[in-house]
């Protein structure tokens, strides 16, 4: 795969990719110590700037990106960070009347405003910021579309209001509120918020394994990966990953099967439960609904479960998770996951890694990939857990499930609010921080509506139509 | 205690490794060696073209799966030949 084939959605992703690729290439071919000086000049050769005011600013931003590609601020536990200098200090005026206002006689804006915040001064609409509640009705009503809502894309994308503007007008992330969902990473049009990369740690791990002789390095891949293979088949991507030096590729869907089984049994005991597989969603509950924490399932996430299975059969193994998720980069370091996962790589990073090593998936042969069942594989989409759970419950003779699917933090908040105040009629809550589920994760290479089709297709291709055999495997590890 | 590892990697899975596990469970019961054998599943043991691969390790060996004289690999196991292979290759190794 090469970038000129347009594998990424945005130019921001391409910049990030170019930096990562260059860093990874140097980690293998040498020259990493000169990365800060040389890479910016490679990516921004000048003399004319590409997007910013001058080439020097562009290069400085690239330097900051290199820092993040090499691990970022070690003292900041949040995998998502703001690159101060890249933040373009976007205006955030809220409702704004543009010069397109003609001062018409109708002044629909004034009529529609529920707070009486609009007055007409010198034949021009004026908004009283004190009264305005930013409902946006005026913007919709204006026949000249002269009223706009000016918000920072990062702040709009952040559903937990963790992003504020500091005294220098730069975006600032409040770690106490942030759930590391990564929405802002994908949404900032200047690429000023980005995820840290641990890819150098992974390279180190692979090198020290001495071709998997000292210990084996496994790659656990998230089911969302099938929607990311625009060039080449998923089975070719498996071969490509192995060519990077991984001993074996295992599907996280296997762990997902077991998570489903555990959750069905756990629900039977508790009667009221919410899922634990999305680390951002779990963090959201912990930070906003502490009284509901007791309802979070105690089953570990599919990522952790798969890693535990691997380490049971191969105790010295190292396990790297490859997924679409920024939050997993925080989850694997949490104490509660017990070091099951050794490192996390994003799909974007995987693409950079493959290209830096000159591995073209299209040229790779097929390697079979089949560990999880149909249900484990559709975990990647919103609603997948509930779909699986209902069937598992039927098999286990668990009755009385009333599930609800919550896609995106806004839906999660609304339904958890109902639960908190005893208004919820459901008793099983599936929560995912990304709208649509993991297949829309922030670190996906593409965010196409086609992703869901790919995930369903992949699910149907699974040899196992039930989770029964995966569970057997799990039972064996317990004996 | 002898450890028998049945490969459940992708390739062996498609060739029916879960059936082999079931078969071995039955066999261990039949030969009354359930206490002497620890039946485990393992991810890829190599030799994907010769699955299902079963690994019987009767020695206190290294934990990393390596090819060596002290580790026995049995290839092309399926639920029908499992018993025959067990009797021939594994049973004599058990420290009964």
Q: Is residue A406 part of a domain?
A: yes
Average pLDDT value for residue range B59-78? 48
CB contact, 8 Å: B71 with chain A? no
Output the pLDDT for position B89. 74
Q: How many CB atoms lie within 10 A of CB A447?
A: 18
Taking residues A106-118, report their average pLDDT: 93
Whether A338 contacts A305, CB under 8 Å = no
Same domain, A176 and A37: no
Instruction: Report whether pLDDT(A253) > 50.
Output: yes
pLDDT of the residue at A155: 94
Alpha-helical (H) ranges within A107-244 are 108-112, 137-141, 153-157, 183-187, 199-208, 234-243
Q: A43 lies in a domain?
A: yes
**A22 and A162 assigned to the same domain:** no
pLDDT tier, A25 (very low <50, low <70, confident <90, very high otherwise): very high
Residues A119, A66 share a domain: no
Examine the pLDDT at A405 and tell me if it is beyond 60.
yes
Is some CB atom of chain A closer than 8 A to the CB atom of B11? Answer: yes
Shared domain check, A233 and A191: no
Same domain, A271 and A394: yes
- Containing structural domain, residue B27: 2-93
Predicted confidence (pLDDT) at residue A479 exceeds the cutoff of 60: no
- The answer to whether residues A278 and A351 belong to one domain is yes
The reply to whether A217 and A304 lie within a common domain is yes
Q: B45 to chain A: nearest residue by CA?
A: A248
CATH number, residue A248:
3.40.950.10
Please report the pLDDT score of residue A192 as a whole number: 96
d(CA A60, CA A202): 26
How many CB contacts within 8 angstroms connect chain A with chain B?
Answer: 61
**Environment class of A47 (CB within 10 Å of its CB; exposed 0-12, middle 13-18, buried 19+):** exposed
What CATH number did the domain enclosing B44 receive?
3.40.30.10
Please indicate, yes or no, whether residues A233 and A173 belong to a single structural domain of this protein: no
The band of A148, judged by pLDDT with boundaries at 50, 70 and 90, is very high
pLDDT of residue A462: 85
Q: Do A313 and B40 touch (CB under 8 A)?
A: yes
A337 part of a folded domain: yes
For residues A26 and A144, membership in a common domain is answered with no
What pTM was estimated for this model as a whole? 0.88
Q: Is residue A75 situated within a structural domain?
A: no
CB contact under 8 A, A248 and B14: no
> pLDDT digit string (tens) for A50-65?
888 999 999 999 999 9
With a pLDDT cut of 70, the percent of chain A lying above it is 98
* Cβ–Cβ below 8 Å for A316 and B43: no
**Residue B57 pLDDT exceeds 90:** no
Confidence class for position B21, pLDDT limits 50, 70, 90: confident
Does the residue A76 lie in any domain?
A: no
| Structural domain boundaries enclosing A127 | 94-150
Instruction: Indicate whether A162 belongs to any domain.
Output: yes
Q: Where is average pLDDT lowest: A145-154, A180-189, A345-354, B65-74?
A: B65-74
Q: How many domains does chain B have?
A: 1
pLDDT reported for residue A466: 81
How many Å apart are CA A350 and CA A356, to the nearest integer? 10
Number of domains making up chain A = 4
């Amino acid at each position: 795969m090469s970038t000129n084939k347009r594998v990424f959605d945005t130019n921001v992703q391409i910049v990030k990719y170019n930096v990562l690729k260059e860093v990874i290439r140097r980690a293998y071919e040498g020259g990493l110590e000169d990365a800060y000086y040389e890479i910016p000049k490679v990516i921004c050769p000048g003399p004319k700037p590409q997007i910013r005011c001058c080439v020097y600013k562009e290069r400085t931003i690239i330097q900051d990106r290199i820092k993040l590609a090499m691990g970022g601020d070690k003292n900041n536990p949040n995998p998502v960070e703001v690159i101060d200098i890249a933040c373009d200090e976007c205006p955030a005026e809220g409702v704004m009347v543009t010069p397109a206002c003609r001062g018409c006689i109708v002044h629909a804006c004034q009529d529609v405003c529920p707070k009486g915040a609009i007055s007409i001064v010198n034949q021009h609409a004026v908004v009283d910021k004190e009264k305005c509640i930013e409902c946006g009705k005026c913007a919709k009503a204006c026949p000249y579309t002269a009223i706009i809502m000016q918000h920072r894309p990062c702040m709009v994308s952040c559903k937990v209001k963790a992003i504020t503007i500091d005294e220098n007008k730069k975006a600032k992330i409040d770690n106490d509120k942030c759930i590391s969902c990564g929405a802002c990473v994908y949404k900032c049009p200047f690429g000023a918020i980005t995820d840290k990369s641990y890819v150098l740690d992974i390279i180190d791990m692979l090198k020290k394994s001495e071709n998997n002789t000292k210990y084996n390095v496994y790659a656990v891949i998230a089911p969302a990966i099938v929607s990311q293979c625009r060039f080449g088949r998923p089975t070719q991507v498996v071969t490509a990953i192995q060519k990077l030096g991984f001993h074996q590729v295992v599907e996280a869907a296997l762990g997902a099967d077991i998570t489903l089984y555990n959750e069905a049994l756990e629900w039977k005991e508790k009667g009221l439960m919410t899922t634990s597989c999305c680390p951002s969603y779990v963090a959201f509950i912990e930070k906003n609904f502490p009284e509901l924490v007791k309802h979070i399932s105690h089953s570990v996430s599919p990522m952790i479960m798969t890693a535990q299975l691997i380490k049971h059969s191969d105790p010295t193994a190292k396990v790297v998770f490859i997924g679409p998720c920024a939050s997993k980069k925080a989850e694997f370091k949490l104490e509660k996951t017990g070091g099951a996962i050794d490192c996390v790589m994003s799909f974007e990073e995987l693409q950079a890694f493959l290209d830096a090593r000159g591995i073209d998936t299209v040229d790779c042969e097929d390697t079979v990939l089949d560990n999880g069942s149909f249900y484990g594989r559709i975990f990647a989409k919103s609603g997948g857990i509930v779909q699986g759970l209902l069937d598992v419950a039927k098999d286990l003779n668990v009755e009385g499930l009333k599930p609800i699917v919550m896609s995106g933090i806004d839906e999660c908040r609304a339904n958890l609010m109902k639960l908190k105040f005893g208004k919820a009629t459901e008793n099983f809550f599936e929560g995912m921080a990304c709208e649509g589920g993991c297949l829309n994760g922030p670190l996906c290479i593409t965010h196409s509506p086609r992703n869901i089709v790919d995930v369903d297709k992949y699910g149907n291709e699974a040899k196992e139509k039930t989770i029964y055999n995966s569970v057997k495997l799990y039972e064996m590890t317990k004996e | 205690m002898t450890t028998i590892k049945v490969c459940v990697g992708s390739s062996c899975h498609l060739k029916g490794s879960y059936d082999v596990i079931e078969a071995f469970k039955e066999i261990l019961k039949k030969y009354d060696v359930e206490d002497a054998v620890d039946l485990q599943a393992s991810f890829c043991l190599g030799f994907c073209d010769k699955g299902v691969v079963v690994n019987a390790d009767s020695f206190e060996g290294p934990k990393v799966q390596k090819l060596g004289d002290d580790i026995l690999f049995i290839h092309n196991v399926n639920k029908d030949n499992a018993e025959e292979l067990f009797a021939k290759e594994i049973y004599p190794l058990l420290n009964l």
